Chains A and B, each alone.
Chain A
Amino acid sequence: MNMMSEAAVEKALDQKMNDVSYKMVGKDVSVYYGEKRALFDVNLNVRENTVTALIGPSGCGKSTFLRCLNRMNDTIESCRVTGRITLDADDIYDPSIDVVELRARVGMVFQKPNPFPKSIYENIAYGPRIHGLARNKADMDQIVEASLQRAGLWNEAKDRLQESGTGLSGGQQQRLCIARAIAVSPEVILMDEPCSALDPIATAKVEELIHELRSNYTIVIVTHSMQQAARVSQRTAMFHLGQLVEENDTDKMFTNPDDQRTQDYIMGRFG
């Protein structure tokens, strides 16, 4: 690789992009929190209609990278991002890109379920209302129902749409948050340890949901659970100390990884 000229590298990359379609491409992404550097020149591509899992020990930068993908890091003071991240070939850090629009295309589900203290209906309707996706009440009803259907929450929630979203159980709340993200019809959904606050049964439901969502959305998920990464993802990226160690097919990653550190981490030797 080192022998190749830069042009050749570009060409090779283009070639690769033709084989599989990349939804998002990260090139030399570095993140600084003030003086501290959290991410070192990460090159990671996200394939379309695929679940990509980001794994690695705590503080390895996987959440930081995830938050770069919809510029949630902008909300943190002192955070600086360098490098290039594209969404369908548009540089998302380009000044001409509206961050609000970007976040509508790249939705996010957080570690802790964070429904707004509003009714279930209003929680879902929030995003569409902001972006003007519904022309009238019937439209909105339809969006709410479709989103809840997709998130597998419709049957549980249809009779209590006007009740507060905070009154749901933890697992239901998290699926509500997923439904809320779906409601603005994003192209990519980012999930930051979506199951870490849930019990095993609720986790199973969310994982099942991720599985189903894959056909319509590109999903990037950060997880601490290796089993979960193996269960839900097709591609896995391993981070360590702010660097991307290895990115590979999930099957290969968990059976025969290229990098010794990945092997060690998966076997539980560190992290």
Chain B
Amino acid sequence: MLLLTTAVIAILGYLAGTRRALALSGGRSSNMHSRPGYYGSFVAVWAGLPALLVLAIWLIVSPAVINNVVRNDFPADALAESAATQSLNFGMIEGIARGLNALSAEETAQAERNPDELRALMGSRGVAIAGEPQPYMVKAAVDLNRLRALNGWATAFIVTLIALIGGFVSYRMIKPRFRARNRVEHVILGSLIVASSIAILTTVGIVASMLTEATQFFHAVPAWEFFFGTVWDPRFAAAGSGGSEGQFGLIPLLLGTLYIGFVAMLFAVPVGLFSAIYMAEYASPRLRAIVKPLLEVLAGIPTIVYGFFALTTVGPFLRDISAQIAGLTTGNYTSFIQAQSVLTAGFVMGIMLIPYVSSLSDDIITAVPRAMRDGSLGLGATRSETVKRVILPAALPGIVGAILMTASRAIGETMIVVLAAGVAARMQLNPFEPMTTVTVKIVNQLTGDLEFTSPQTLVAFALGITLFAITLCLNIYALYIVRKYREQYE
């Protein structure tokens, strides 16, 4: 409602500003510094923006202020209670306040006289109250309601006033030599800056929230046990059963992550790189126009679909073929590759990563100046000699950067490994056996009905922040390398 009012004032301001500008120009727009629309926008901005800012700040600050006022009126014995009880009590007061709104005036007065009946009364109106209300609570609830209503009116009044004042002042500022265009430009610049900082601030927020949760975890489990522990056994215990301490060793998970990532890169890097070289150096433009988008379609497949693929096709296929191989060599038809294994997950993840490697390296290879190619070809080098001796060395830093970026994707990949790698946290080097990764365990720890205070769930945040730190380092290093490479040609 308030937003609508402000918007209306802003629109009116725009129309009025435009009109005034037109009137002042006397029919000749060259008299004015800016076109009429800019004066209109200027008025609209001044009418809308400060009012909305005040509204936003008011909305954030006022509940806290009101709560404080109400709390300060608590009787001394209520204030003496612990913080947790106080906040519970306050929750009850809020419930009562909500309930009171549903009552008529005389019912309210009656409730204030004998709070004991209040619970039943409200129950009949469909408002449930957690405990037996105490007398001071009802009074506080009434206060709360009064203050809130007052606050609502005050907000509406002040915001509308600010909008009107802003609009009026800016309207009066319109003069022929007034540079409205430049002012509007500043506002646009400002809004662009705000938009770009939102993404950064969100990242900071995510990191901060993960850090706080992870710190809680490290209160329960020592950091060195987490980072250097070799056994992963969180032991889901029923809440309150007590005594069942899990072991949270990161090492087996990290090893699994890196191992599967390594296998994936083993598939993805050669295939991706070779296809990039083919695309950039050999393919005719027409073929390139068809094949490149096709390859990039691979990047658009949701990873869960790759997961299905691994689970239902690749895994059983590898298992059956390994049984055949074993049978042919030893006569004993038992498969040595399990359906869920490092190899399966790595292979499917490798397929998923091919488009990343090829697309990034393709961009980097095509960025090598044509002059390099011509120089080499002009000396009588063949295409493959040119690629091998000139283009790849020149593009190498960039390609390494691309591979690192891909590796960070491999490490953060979740769905494929959840379905294809298994959940057994083990330390072993046989690629035919299942292993598990950090991401799988995060999913495991956080799915299901769990309280968010036990180390069993908090460990997910510790895992998350570790993963984040690893991929962040990889990405920063990759960006650093790519940037260094770019400088060579500019």
Is the pair B393, A117 in contact by a Cβ cutoff of 8 Å?
Answer: yes
**What class of interface size applies to chain A in its complex with B?**
20 to 34
User: Are A184 and B377 CB-contacts (below 8 A) given A112-B371, A118-B393?
Assistant: no
Residue on A with the closest CB to B389?
A126
Is the pair B375, A177 in contact by a Cβ cutoff of 8 Å?
Answer: yes
Q: Interface with A: B190-198, B264-272, B380-388, B425-433, which one?
A: B380-388
A199 at the interface (CB under 8 A from B): no
User: Are A116 and B377 CB-contacts (below 8 A) given A77-B284, A77-B285, A166-B488?
Assistant: no
B376 at the interface (CB under 8 A from A): yes
Q: Is the interface of B mostly helix, strand, loop or mixed?
A: helix
Cα(A75)–Cα(B380), bound, Å: 12
Is the pair A114, B374 in contact by a Cβ cutoff of 8 Å?
Answer: yes
Shortest 10 CB-CB distances between A and B: which pairs? Answer: A104-B380, A114-B371, A108-B378, A103-B380, A127-B379, A114-B375, A100-B380, A130-B381, A117-B394, A100-B382
Is the pair B377, A72 in contact by a Cβ cutoff of 8 Å?
Answer: yes
- Using a CB–CB cutoff of 8 Å, the interface residues on chain B facing chain A are 284-285, 369, 371-382, 385, 389-390, 393-394, 488
Cα(A127)–Cα(B376), bound, Å: 8
- Using a CB–CB cutoff of 8 Å, the interface residues on chain A facing chain B are 70, 72, 75, 77, 100-104, 107-108, 110, 112, 114-118, 126-127, 130-131, 166, 177, 180-181, 184
Residue on A with the closest CB to B390?
A116
* Shortest Cβ gap from B351 to chain A (Å): 31
- In the bound complex, residues from chain B placing their C-beta under 8 Å from that of A131 are 380
Is the pair A126, B488 in contact by a Cβ cutoff of 8 Å?
Answer: no
Residue on A with the closest CB to B373?
A75
Cα(A127)–Cα(B381), bound, Å: 7
Residue on B with the closest CB to A116?
B390
Residue on B with the closest CB to A115?
B375
Is the pair B380, A114 in contact by a Cβ cutoff of 8 Å?
Answer: no
Cα(A177)–Cα(B376), bound, Å: 11
- In the bound complex, residues from chain B placing their C-beta under 8 Å from that of A112 are 371
Is the pair A116, B372 in contact by a Cβ cutoff of 8 Å?
Answer: yes
* Shortest Cβ gap from A133 to chain B (Å): 11
Cα(A72)–Cα(B371), bound, Å: 12
Is the pair A116, B375 in contact by a Cβ cutoff of 8 Å?
Answer: yes
5 example contacts (A-B, Cβ-Cβ < 8 A) are as follows A117-B393, A130-B381, A180-B375, A181-B379, A184-B379
Cα(A114)–Cα(B284), bound, Å: 25
Q: Is the interface of A mostly helix, strand, loop or mixed?
A: helix
* Shortest Cβ gap from B489 to chain A (Å): 9
Residue on A with the closest CB to B485?
A117
Cα(A72)–Cα(B381), bound, Å: 12
Is the pair B375, A101 in contact by a Cβ cutoff of 8 Å?
Answer: no
Is the pair A130, B377 in contact by a Cβ cutoff of 8 Å?
Answer: no
Cα(A5)–Cα(B474), bound, Å: 76
* Shortest Cβ gap from B488 to chain A (Å): 6
Is the pair B488, A117 in contact by a Cβ cutoff of 8 Å?
Answer: yes
Cα(A81)–Cα(B378), bound, Å: 18
Is the pair A100, B381 in contact by a Cβ cutoff of 8 Å?
Answer: yes
- In the bound complex, residues from chain A placing their C-beta under 8 Å from that of B379 are 103-104, 107-108, 126-127, 130, 180-181, 184
When the two chains form the complex, which single residue of A101, A103, A115, A166 contacts B378, counting CB atoms closer than 8 Å?
Answer: A103
Is the pair A110, B382 in contact by a Cβ cutoff of 8 Å?
Answer: no
Is the pair A116, B380 in contact by a Cβ cutoff of 8 Å?
Answer: no
Cα(A102)–Cα(B382), bound, Å: 11
Is the pair B374, A75 in contact by a Cβ cutoff of 8 Å?
Answer: yes
Using A110-B375, A180-B379 as known contacts, list a sample of 7 further A-B pairs with CB atoms less than 8 Å apart, ordered by residue number in A. A75-B373, A100-B382, A110-B371, A114-B372, A130-B380, A180-B375, A184-B380
Cα(A101)–Cα(B377), bound, Å: 11
- In the bound complex, residues from chain B placing their C-beta under 8 Å from that of A102 are 380
- In the bound complex, residues from chain A placing their C-beta under 8 Å from that of B393 are 116-118
Is the pair B377, A103 in contact by a Cβ cutoff of 8 Å?
Answer: yes
User: Are A130 and B385 CB-contacts (below 8 A) given A103-B377, A103-B379?
Assistant: yes
- In the bound complex, residues from chain A placing their C-beta under 8 Å from that of B394 are 116-117
Residue on A with the closest CB to B377?
A75
- In the bound complex, residues from chain B placing their C-beta under 8 Å from that of A177 are 375
When the two chains form the complex, which single residue of B284, B376, B382 contacts A116, counting CB atoms closer than 8 Å?
Answer: B376
Residue on A with the closest CB to B379?
A127
* Shortest Cβ gap from B373 to chain A (Å): 7
* Shortest Cβ gap from B359 to chain A (Å): 22
- In the bound complex, residues from chain A placing their C-beta under 8 Å from that of B376 are 116, 126
- In the bound complex, residues from chain A placing their C-beta under 8 Å from that of B371 are 110, 112, 114
Is the pair B378, A72 in contact by a Cβ cutoff of 8 Å?
Answer: yes
- In the bound complex, residues from chain A placing their C-beta under 8 Å from that of B285 are 77
Cα(A163)–Cα(B377), bound, Å: 23
* Shortest Cβ gap from A147 to chain B (Å): 12
- In the bound complex, residues from chain A placing their C-beta under 8 Å from that of B377 are 72, 75, 103
* Shortest Cβ gap from B282 to chain A (Å): 12
Cα(A177)–Cα(B394), bound, Å: 17
* Shortest Cβ gap from A87 to chain B (Å): 13
- In the bound complex, residues from chain B placing their C-beta under 8 Å from that of A114 are 369, 371-372, 374-375
- In the bound complex, residues from chain B placing their C-beta under 8 Å from that of A126 are 376, 379, 381, 389-390
Is the pair A110, B488 in contact by a Cβ cutoff of 8 Å?
Answer: no
Residue on B with the closest CB to A74?
B377
Cα(A127)–Cα(B380), bound, Å: 7
